[in-house]
Amino acid sequence: MAQRQDYNIMIKKDGKFYVGYCLEIPQARGQGATKAEAVHDTKQAIKLCKSYLENKKKSSASKLVTVSV
């Protein structure tokens, strides 16, 4: 089972909608009519992004270089 990790979501009001932005994964964004819907949608986007990144990492393993900063 995958290890759980905490992510920070910034919620902003944009017109009629609330928009969620994941600070750790900028590509993961969501929206909703309420803050709760925006958080839920952004959580789904985080899961999709994590899955995509893991698959990309596996398929590119021979080309990757790991660094510490």
More reliable by pLDDT, 4 or 30: 30
Q: Please say if the pLDDT value at position 2 is more than 90.
A: no
pLDDT beyond 80 at 1: no
Closest CA to 22 of 42, 41, 2: 42
Tell whether pTM > 0.75.
yes
Question: Own/partner pairs for 5-10, CB < 8 Å, 24+ apart?
Answer: 7/46, 9/39, 9/42, 9/43
Hey, where are the domains in the chain? 1-51
Nearest to 41 by CA among 16, 64, 18: 18
At residue 63, the pLDDT reads: 84
State pLDDT tens for residues 19-67: 999 999 999 999 999 999 999 999 999 999 999 988 988 888 788 888 9
